[in-house]
Structure 1
Protein backbone atom coordinates (compact mmCIF):
# COMPACT_ATOMS: atom_id res chain seq x y z
CA UNK A 1 0.00 0.00 0.00
CA UNK A 2 2.99 2.31 0.22
CA UNK A 3 3.19 2.73 -3.54
CA UNK A 4 -0.54 3.47 -3.74
CA UNK A 5 -0.26 6.03 -0.92
CA UNK A 6 2.57 7.81 -2.71
CA UNK A 7 0.73 7.69 -6.04
CA UNK A 8 -2.46 9.21 -4.66
CA UNK A 9 -0.42 11.68 -2.60
CA UNK A 10 1.13 12.88 -5.84
CA UNK A 11 -2.31 13.15 -7.44
CA UNK A 12 -3.51 15.16 -4.42
CA UNK A 13 -0.54 17.52 -4.70
CA UNK A 14 -1.22 17.98 -8.40
CA UNK A 15 -4.85 18.91 -7.74
CA UNK A 16 -3.81 21.25 -4.92
CA UNK A 17 -1.37 23.06 -7.19
CA UNK A 18 -3.89 23.14 -10.04
CA UNK A 19 -6.56 24.55 -7.71
CA UNK A 20 -4.22 27.26 -6.45
CA UNK A 21 -3.11 28.29 -9.93
CA UNK A 22 -6.59 28.07 -11.41
CA UNK A 23 -8.12 30.04 -8.55
CA UNK A 24 -5.49 32.75 -8.76
CA UNK A 25 -5.56 33.16 -12.54
CA UNK A 26 -9.19 32.60 -13.42
CA UNK A 27 -11.07 33.91 -10.40
CA UNK A 28 -13.84 31.46 -11.23
CA UNK A 29 -15.16 29.81 -8.06
CA UNK A 30 -16.86 26.72 -9.54
CA UNK A 31 -13.77 25.25 -11.18
CA UNK A 32 -11.66 26.07 -8.14
CA UNK A 33 -14.16 24.29 -5.90
CA UNK A 34 -14.11 21.21 -8.14
CA UNK A 35 -10.32 21.07 -8.03
CA UNK A 36 -10.35 21.45 -4.24
CA UNK A 37 -12.83 18.58 -3.94
CA UNK A 38 -10.65 16.45 -6.25
CA UNK A 39 -7.68 17.25 -4.01
CA UNK A 40 -9.66 16.21 -0.95
CA UNK A 41 -10.76 12.91 -2.46
CA UNK A 42 -7.24 11.99 -3.58
CA UNK A 43 -5.88 12.98 -0.16
CA UNK A 44 -8.42 10.73 1.60
CA UNK A 45 -7.44 7.74 -0.56
CA UNK A 46 -3.74 8.46 0.04
CA UNK A 47 -4.31 8.72 3.79
CA UNK A 48 -6.26 5.45 3.83
CA UNK A 49 -3.52 3.61 1.93
CA UNK A 50 -0.83 5.03 4.22
CA UNK A 51 -2.74 3.96 7.34
CA UNK A 52 -3.27 0.46 5.94
CA UNK A 53 0.44 0.20 5.15
CA UNK A 54 1.36 1.19 8.71
CA UNK A 55 -1.14 -1.25 10.22
CA UNK A 56 -0.51 -4.30 8.06
CA UNK A 57 3.01 -3.81 6.75
CA UNK A 58 4.27 -4.87 3.37
CA UNK A 59 2.09 -7.10 1.21
CA UNK A 60 3.44 -9.94 -0.90
CA UNK A 61 2.82 -7.73 -3.95
CA UNK A 62 5.24 -5.15 -2.52
CA UNK A 63 8.15 -7.57 -2.10
CA UNK A 64 10.38 -8.64 -4.97
CA UNK A 65 11.30 -11.94 -3.27
CA UNK A 66 7.68 -13.02 -2.69
CA UNK A 67 6.27 -16.22 -4.10
CA UNK A 68 2.77 -16.70 -5.50
CA UNK A 69 1.93 -18.92 -2.52
CA UNK A 70 2.56 -16.00 -0.14
CA UNK A 71 -0.60 -14.30 -1.37
CA UNK A 72 -2.70 -17.47 -1.37
CA UNK A 73 -5.49 -18.15 1.09
CA UNK A 74 -8.72 -16.47 2.07
CA UNK A 75 -8.62 -12.74 1.59
CA UNK A 76 -11.92 -11.61 3.04
CA UNK A 77 -15.45 -12.72 3.78
CA UNK A 78 -17.90 -12.15 0.95
CA UNK A 79 -21.57 -12.83 1.78
CA UNK A 80 -23.24 -15.38 -0.50
CA UNK A 81 -26.80 -14.02 -0.34
CA UNK A 82 -27.97 -10.62 0.77
CA UNK A 83 -31.20 -8.71 0.08
CA UNK A 84 -29.71 -5.37 1.15
CA UNK A 85 -28.13 -4.31 -2.15
CA UNK A 86 -31.56 -4.58 -3.79
CA UNK A 87 -33.18 -2.58 -0.98
CA UNK A 88 -30.46 0.06 -1.30
CA UNK A 89 -30.91 0.29 -5.07
CA UNK A 90 -34.69 0.55 -4.68
CA UNK A 91 -34.30 3.30 -2.07
CA UNK A 92 -31.94 5.25 -4.29
CA UNK A 93 -34.31 4.91 -7.24
CA UNK A 94 -37.27 6.13 -5.20
CA UNK A 95 -35.21 9.02 -3.82
CA UNK A 96 -34.13 10.00 -7.34
CA UNK A 97 -37.75 9.94 -8.49
CA UNK A 98 -38.58 12.05 -5.45
CA UNK A 99 -36.26 14.76 -6.72
CA UNK A 100 -38.47 14.94 -9.81
CA UNK A 101 -41.95 14.38 -8.35
CA UNK A 102 -41.85 15.83 -4.87
CA UNK A 103 -40.43 15.94 -1.38
CA UNK A 104 -42.77 13.27 -0.03
CA UNK A 105 -41.44 10.65 -2.45
CA UNK A 106 -37.87 11.72 -1.76
CA UNK A 107 -38.37 11.24 1.97
CA UNK A 108 -39.80 7.76 1.44
CA UNK A 109 -36.84 6.90 -0.78
CA UNK A 110 -34.37 8.30 1.76
CA UNK A 111 -35.93 6.10 4.42
CA UNK A 112 -35.72 2.97 2.26
CA UNK A 113 -32.16 3.89 1.25
CA UNK A 114 -31.12 4.39 4.88
CA UNK A 115 -32.61 1.00 5.82
CA UNK A 116 -30.75 -0.69 2.98
CA UNK A 117 -27.42 0.89 3.87
CA UNK A 118 -27.83 0.07 7.56
CA UNK A 119 -28.82 -3.48 6.64
CA UNK A 120 -25.64 -3.92 4.61
CA UNK A 121 -23.45 -2.38 7.30
CA UNK A 122 -24.84 -4.39 10.21
CA UNK A 123 -25.78 -7.64 8.43
CA UNK A 124 -22.77 -9.52 9.75
CA UNK A 125 -21.96 -7.34 12.76
CA UNK A 126 -22.23 -10.29 15.15
CA UNK A 127 -20.30 -12.68 12.88
CA UNK A 128 -17.26 -14.25 14.52
CA UNK A 129 -14.09 -14.48 12.40
Structure 2
Protein backbone atom coordinates (compact mmCIF):
# COMPACT_ATOMS: atom_id res chain seq x y z
CA UNK A 1 0.00 0.00 0.00
CA UNK A 2 3.03 2.27 0.03
CA UNK A 3 2.64 3.06 -3.67
CA UNK A 4 -1.03 3.87 -3.22
CA UNK A 5 -0.22 6.13 -0.24
CA UNK A 6 2.31 8.07 -2.35
CA UNK A 7 -0.11 8.24 -5.28
CA UNK A 8 -2.97 9.68 -3.25
CA UNK A 9 -0.53 11.89 -1.33
CA UNK A 10 0.49 13.38 -4.66
CA UNK A 11 -3.16 13.86 -5.60
CA UNK A 12 -3.78 15.59 -2.27
CA UNK A 13 -0.73 17.83 -2.72
CA UNK A 14 -1.89 18.76 -6.21
CA UNK A 15 -5.34 19.74 -4.99
CA UNK A 16 -3.87 21.64 -2.01
CA UNK A 17 -1.66 23.70 -4.30
CA UNK A 18 -4.45 24.20 -6.79
CA UNK A 19 -6.86 25.29 -4.05
CA UNK A 20 -4.34 27.78 -2.67
CA UNK A 21 -3.59 29.30 -6.07
CA UNK A 22 -7.21 29.30 -7.18
CA UNK A 23 -8.38 30.87 -3.93
CA UNK A 24 -5.71 33.55 -4.06
CA UNK A 25 -6.17 34.49 -7.72
CA UNK A 26 -9.91 34.13 -8.13
CA UNK A 27 -11.29 34.99 -4.71
CA UNK A 28 -14.24 32.77 -5.56
CA UNK A 29 -15.26 30.70 -2.51
CA UNK A 30 -17.27 27.90 -4.15
CA UNK A 31 -14.49 26.62 -6.40
CA UNK A 32 -11.95 27.00 -3.61
CA UNK A 33 -14.16 24.98 -1.27
CA UNK A 34 -14.56 22.24 -3.87
CA UNK A 35 -10.78 22.04 -4.32
CA UNK A 36 -10.24 21.93 -0.55
CA UNK A 37 -12.74 19.06 -0.29
CA UNK A 38 -10.89 17.24 -3.10
CA UNK A 39 -7.64 17.76 -1.16
CA UNK A 40 -9.21 16.35 2.01
CA UNK A 41 -10.52 13.27 0.18
CA UNK A 42 -7.11 12.53 -1.34
CA UNK A 43 -5.41 13.10 2.02
CA UNK A 44 -7.85 10.75 3.77
CA UNK A 45 -7.16 7.91 1.34
CA UNK A 46 -3.41 8.54 1.57
CA UNK A 47 -3.60 8.48 5.38
CA UNK A 48 -5.55 5.21 5.34
CA UNK A 49 -3.09 3.55 2.96
CA UNK A 50 -0.13 4.74 5.05
CA UNK A 51 -1.66 3.31 8.23
CA UNK A 52 -2.35 -0.01 6.51
CA UNK A 53 1.18 -0.18 5.11
CA UNK A 54 2.71 0.47 8.53
CA UNK A 55 0.50 -2.17 10.13
CA UNK A 56 0.98 -4.93 7.57
CA UNK A 57 4.13 -4.16 5.62
CA UNK A 58 4.62 -5.05 1.98
CA UNK A 59 2.02 -7.16 0.22
CA UNK A 60 2.90 -10.01 -2.13
CA UNK A 61 1.78 -7.80 -5.03
CA UNK A 62 4.49 -5.28 -4.09
CA UNK A 63 7.38 -7.77 -4.13
CA UNK A 64 9.10 -8.87 -7.34
CA UNK A 65 10.20 -12.20 -5.85
CA UNK A 66 6.70 -13.20 -4.67
CA UNK A 67 4.96 -16.35 -5.86
CA UNK A 68 1.26 -16.67 -6.65
CA UNK A 69 0.85 -18.90 -3.59
CA UNK A 70 2.05 -16.04 -1.34
CA UNK A 71 -1.23 -14.22 -1.92
CA UNK A 72 -3.37 -17.28 -1.11
CA UNK A 73 -5.50 -17.50 1.99
CA UNK A 74 -8.03 -15.18 3.54
CA UNK A 75 -8.07 -11.86 1.76
CA UNK A 76 -9.13 -9.53 4.53
CA UNK A 77 -10.75 -9.25 7.92
CA UNK A 78 -14.23 -7.80 7.84
CA UNK A 79 -15.60 -6.68 11.23
CA UNK A 80 -18.82 -8.40 12.29
CA UNK A 81 -20.32 -5.20 13.67
CA UNK A 82 -19.14 -1.65 14.17
CA UNK A 83 -20.76 1.51 15.53
CA UNK A 84 -18.39 3.81 13.62
CA UNK A 85 -20.26 4.00 10.28
CA UNK A 86 -23.32 5.27 12.14
CA UNK A 87 -21.22 7.84 14.05
CA UNK A 88 -19.62 8.96 10.78
CA UNK A 89 -23.00 9.30 9.07
CA UNK A 90 -24.39 11.26 12.02
CA UNK A 91 -21.37 13.56 12.03
CA UNK A 92 -21.72 14.20 8.31
CA UNK A 93 -25.44 14.91 8.65
CA UNK A 94 -24.87 17.37 11.51
CA UNK A 95 -22.01 19.06 9.64
CA UNK A 96 -24.16 19.40 6.51
CA UNK A 97 -26.96 20.85 8.60
CA UNK A 98 -24.44 23.21 10.16
CA UNK A 99 -23.69 24.66 6.73
CA UNK A 100 -27.26 25.95 6.74
CA UNK A 101 -27.75 26.87 10.41
CA UNK A 102 -24.37 28.13 11.53
CA UNK A 103 -20.71 27.57 12.16
CA UNK A 104 -21.23 26.27 15.70
CA UNK A 105 -23.32 23.32 14.47
CA UNK A 106 -20.90 22.65 11.62
CA UNK A 107 -17.98 22.45 14.06
CA UNK A 108 -19.85 20.01 16.30
CA UNK A 109 -20.69 17.87 13.27
CA UNK A 110 -17.12 18.02 12.00
CA UNK A 111 -15.87 16.86 15.40
CA UNK A 112 -18.27 13.92 15.42
CA UNK A 113 -17.33 13.13 11.81
CA UNK A 114 -13.61 13.16 12.67
CA UNK A 115 -14.28 10.88 15.64
CA UNK A 116 -16.19 8.44 13.42
CA UNK A 117 -13.49 8.35 10.73
CA UNK A 118 -10.74 7.88 13.32
CA UNK A 119 -12.81 5.14 14.96
CA UNK A 120 -13.17 3.27 11.67
CA UNK A 121 -9.48 3.59 10.83
CA UNK A 122 -8.18 2.56 14.25
CA UNK A 123 -10.96 0.21 15.42
CA UNK A 124 -8.85 -2.90 15.01
CA UNK A 125 -5.41 -1.26 15.09
CA UNK A 126 -4.16 -3.65 17.78
CA UNK A 127 -5.60 -6.73 16.11
CA UNK A 128 -2.98 -9.26 15.05
CA UNK A 129 -3.26 -10.89 11.62
State the Cα RMSD in Å. Answer: 2.2
What's the CA shift for 1:43?
Answer: 0.2
| Structure-2 residue corresponding to 1:60 | 60
Partner in structure 1 of residue 37 of structure 2: 37
Residue 76 of structure 1: how far off its partner (Å): 3.1
Spell out structure 1 runs of 4+ moving beyond 3 A. none
Three-state SS of the structure 2 residue aligned to 1:39 is: helix
Report what 2:5 is aligned to. 5
Distance 1:50 1:77, change over 3 A: closer
How many residue pairs end up in the alignment?
82
Question: What is the rounded CA distance, in whole Å, between the counterparts of 1:76 and 1:50 in structure 2?
Answer: 17
Counterpart CA distance in 2 for 1:28 and 1:38 is: 16
Task: After TM superposition, give the deviation of residue 75 of structure 1 in Å.
Answer: 1.1
Q: CA deviation at 1:77?
A: 5.8
In structure 2, stretches of 5+ residues that fail to align are: 79-129
TM-score (norm 1): 0.59
Q: 1:14 & 1:21 partners in 2: Cα distance?
A: 11
TM-score, with structure 2 as normaliser = 0.59
